[in-house]
Amino acid sequence: MNSITENLDSAELYLNRELSLLAFNRRVLELAEDESIPLLERLRFLCISSSNLDEFFEIRVAGLKQQVALGISTTGHDALTPQEQLSRIRELVGKLVEDQYRVLNDVLFPALSQEDIHFVPRNLWNEEQAQWVKNYFTRELLPVLSPLGVDPSHPFPRMLNKSLNFVITLEGKDAFGRDSGVAIVQAPRALPRLIRLPEKIAKGKYDFVFLSSILHAHVDELFPGMKVNACAQFRVTRNSDLFVDEEEVEDLRMALEGGLPSRNFGDAVRLEAADNTPKKAIKFLLNKFKLAEEDVYQVNGPVNLNRLMAVPNIVDRPNLKYPAFIPSLHGNLAPESDIFATINQGDILLHHPYQSFTPVIEFIKQAAADPDVLAIKQTLYRTGAESELVELLISAARAGKEVTVVVELRARFDEEANIKLSTQLQDAGAHVLYGIVGYKTHAKLALVVRRDKGRLKRYVHLGTGNYHAGTARAYTDLGLLTCDKMIGEDVHKIFQQLTGLGRATKLKKLLQSPFTLHQSVLTKIEREAEHAKQGKTAHIMARMNALIEPQIIQALYRASQAGVKIDLIIRGICGLRPGIPGVSENIHVRSVMGRFLEHSRVFYFYNDDKPEIYCSSADWMQRNFFRRVETCFPIETPELRERVIKESLLAYLSDNTQAWILEQDGHYKRLKPGQKKPRSAQAHLLETLAS
């Protein structure tokens, strides 16, 4: 054997996390170019690629820049230093941004124009449109604008993260004799970035102008008596990762509340500017934001593509969007049925969004109203600002039931909403806790304690996704409703851990991070390897959002070397290199992407023809195994096991229209049906499960 097959720590065997994340965003952009997808949905995918890139800079690039500033040069298993990663990121993001604007200007704008949806540039406004725009500027924009000259008595203004701004270069002196030559105009946050022209003056039903175009056209009115040489839009992206020293704070909620305002003014990490911005102005902005030349991205179009996300909501053209569908209601859960009686008849598997999220809401709704229910306990990670589930928990608490809610305040970018929800719950008399210091509570659990025939009985919901009715329509997730005694006891013990004190107790059926999940997965992978060495059939199938934990990757490499067939469906980041001779030639990795965000985590182990199927809230990442509270639950009913295998694994492994294959070098190649019948997992599940 050569050195690489013996040394599974070799950097050649690992893909970089950040570069893999950029590869995922590249696949999102490819969906924006896919002509088989409805046009307005393609525009959405372009916007998603833009917002994803924003978060990439706010969190991932910001973290790397901090490491460089602190002189940290340590590497991960891929052996790339923080500085080397930043250099590769600059190269890849530069090409990605260039392609985003190419898709917008050369592909989507012309296609939208063909559908009578126009984004009218200034040079094409007719006289009537120009007059309307002038009136809009005078009426709506001018009264709320505050042009800011930059001179010794007017320092460079603080700018909110990702806000739209304009840098103006000027000639002449103002009323006070000042001639600094530079001014800043900040676009009002209260006004839309995209304005629809009235139909009576528009070319078609849906004609839009950008707020930036309106300001450009009339910027000289902000500086009377002076000459405007240039006006260019820009925005700055800042470090948005909230840091709270959890060992020092006494109240995590108060600490987070105090830190939220600062998120908008973290260190600058990226400058985006229009491609017509003068070099002198770029240099001026870079100096003010303490950025280097490699941190600027000049673009041919609006600096925030995500603003176009409003268009599909405004344009009423169903033929340019995905067809509407109605999630089906599980056959045993007819409206007004007794959900506890139904669960007593057998476990219920829900596959969202194809099957309705309503039974989960009904589970809590009936528990809140049922006089035989004594207690409700639930974890909340992301729920949405207006959550029906939270309202039901509030009503249960007000009805005198014991309601305990573990709210994870550190759900990134949902901290403010979760703080508000926790306040509402506390005001209603619910017991609200914020999990364990140092460990995010990412588990998705709901426990109802009910008196049945004089004895207390536990009913449980476990899920792979959040208790969020909105994302349940857009994300694929699995949920299990059960009254299995051992699972109920396990969930009870987990809530005891989260709310009280004491040592971790052994669970009977659930696997849990940070205690048993990592070692259990390793053991199950190693068991498959042993079976393969004995000449038995051995097979692992796993589906998740991300795979980067080094020990798991090495275990998969060893299993592959032993002859285990390994099929991985990884939506996003993958640090494993498949197809390396002598190491991973038995490992196949694919990413499936489409209308719905693939969010389910499913693990299958053949186990010598005694298959084990688990669903989980956890990806195979260090943070999920060691720094979070996660759960992984078995699917034991034979009928439900077959459903999970068929719907969540085999359907995706046979997809040849929305699947990308990960190649050995880290590149993804999109599958095409060729001579085979086209197969889309999402389309198939919509057809077979939804109404």
Q: What are the structure tokens assigned to 622, written together?
A: 């260090």
Mean pLDDT of 262-290: 89
Backbone dihedral region for residue 185 (phi beyond 0: left; psi -120 to 50: alpha; all else: beta): beta
Are 411 and 418 a contacting pair, CB within 8 Å? yes
256: confidence class by pLDDT, cuts 50, 70, 90: very low
Chain-wide mean pLDDT for the chain?
A: 91
Reply yes or no on whether the pLDDT at 243 is more than 60. no
Enclosing H/E stretch for 488 = helix 485-499
pLDDT band (50, 70, 90) for residue 381: confident
pLDDT tens for each residue of 573-585: 999 999 999 999 9
Q: Which amino acid is at 561?
A: Q
Rounded mean pLDDT, 237-243: 76
Mean pLDDT of 485-503: 91
Return the bridge partners of 119, or none: 208
The Cα 399–Cα 338 span in angstroms is: 20
What is the spatial distance between Cα 205 and Cα 117, in angstroms, rounded to a whole number?
7
| Residue 208 contacts residue 311 (beta carbons within 8 Å) | yes
What is the reported pLDDT for 619? 98
Residues 1 and 581 sit within 8 Å (Cβ to Cβ): no
Which two three-digit tokens encode residue 178? Answer: 């000042």
Helices (H), 260-317: 279-289, 310-314
By C-alpha distance, which of 364, 360, 362 is closest to 376? 364
Domain ranges of the chain: 12-320, 339-505, 512-689
User: Is 327 a residue whose pLDDT tops 70?
Assistant: yes
Residue tagged active-site, from 118, 352, 442, 461: 442
**Nearest Cα to 560, choosing from 590, 602, 528?**
528
- Domains 12-320 and 339-505 equal at CATH topology level: no
Contact of 240 with 56, CB cutoff 8 Å: no
Q: Is the confidence at residue 266, as pLDDT, over 90?
A: no
Hey, what are 17's tokens?
Answer: 């996390």
Model pLDDT, residue 435? 75
Q: Of 516 and 244, which is predicted with more confidence? A: 516
Neighbour-count burial of 9, counting CB atoms closer than 10 A to its CB (0-12 exposed, 13-18 middle, 19+ buried):
exposed
pLDDT at position 362: 95
Cα torsion 348, 351, 356, 359 to 10°: value is 30
Diameter of the chain by CA atoms?
Answer: 89
Least confident of 94-98, 156-160, 242-246: 242-246
What single-letter DSSP state applies at residue 321?
A: S
- Checking if the pLDDT of 280 tops 80, the result is yes
**Average pLDDT score over residue span 460-476:** 94
Residue 385 has pLDDT above 80, yes or no: no
Listed in sequence order, the residues at least 6 apart from 104 whose beta carbon sits closer than 8 Å to its beta carbon are 46, 301, 305, 308
Report the distance separating Cα 550 and Cα 76, nearest Å: 9
Q: How confident is the model at residue 246 (pLDDT cuts 50, 70, 90)?
A: very low
- Tokens 């550190």, located at residue: 410
* Cα 509 to Cα 632: distance, rounded to the nearest angstrom: 9
Reading the block at residue 90, the tokens are 């600059």
Dist CA 467 CA 597 (whole Å)? 16
pLDDT at residue 365 in the model:
96
Residues whose CB falls within 8 Å of the CB of residue 595, separated by 6 or more in sequence, listed in order: 41, 322, 682
CATH of span 512-689: 3.30.870.10
pLDDT tens for residues 396-447? 999 999 999 998 876 455 566 667 787 888 888 899 888 787 899 999 999 9
Nearest CA to 256 out of 434, 93, 381, 389 is that of: 434
Is residue 260 very low, low, confident or very high in pLDDT (cuts 50, 70, 90)? very low
In one-letter notation, the amino acid at residue 618 is A
C-alpha distance from residue 579 to each of 205, 543, 604 (Å): 52, 18, 21
Q: What is the pLDDT of residues 129-155, one digit of tens each?
A: 999 999 999 999 999 998 888 865 567
Q: Cα(237)–Cα(341) distance, rounded to whole angstroms?
A: 53
Residue ranges of the alpha helices (H) in 569-649? 622-626, 638-644
Q: Is 588 a catalytic residue?
A: no
CATH H-level superfamily of 12-320: Polyphosphate kinase middle domain (3.30.1840.10)
| H helix or E strand, kind and range, residue 662 | strand 659-662
Cα(416)–Cα(300) distance, rounded to whole angstroms?
Answer: 34
Residue 390's CB is within 10 A of a number of other CB atoms, namely 25
**Cβ(525)–Cβ(559) below 8 Å:** yes
- Which residues neighbour 459 within 8 Å (Cβ) at sequence distance 6 or greater? 340, 343, 363, 367, 447, 448, 450, 481, 482, 483, 488
pLDDT in tens, 360-380: 999 999 999 999 999 999 999
pLDDT in tens, 387-398: 899 999 999 999
What count of Cα atoms within 13 Å lies in the side-chain half-sphere of residue 428? 24
pLDDT value at position 237?
Answer: 96
Q: Are strands 587-592 and 659-662 parallel, antiparallel or unpaired?
A: antiparallel
User: What is the distance between the alpha carbons of residues 73 and 71, in angstroms, rounded to a whole number?
Assistant: 6
**pLDDT confidence of residue 1:** 40
Beta strand residue intervals within 317-424, DSSP E: 348-352, 373-380, 402-407
Residue with tokens 């030349």: 293
CA distance 589 to 620: 14
Is residue 258 over pLDDT 50?
no
- DSSP summary character for residue 506: P
Say yes or no: domain 339-505 is CATH 3.30.870.10. Answer: yes
Return d(Cα 13, Cα 9) in angstroms, integer.
7
* Residue 110 to residue 491: CA distance in whole angstroms: 54
pLDDT of residue 150: 80
Q: Residue 177's CB: how many other CB atoms inside 10 A?
A: 6
Q: What is the pLDDT of residues 562-605, one digit of tens each?
A: 999 999 999 999 999 999 999 999 999 999 999 999 999 999 99
Element (H, E) at 165: strand 165-171
pLDDT for 244 beyond 70: no
pLDDT score recorded for residue 4? 77
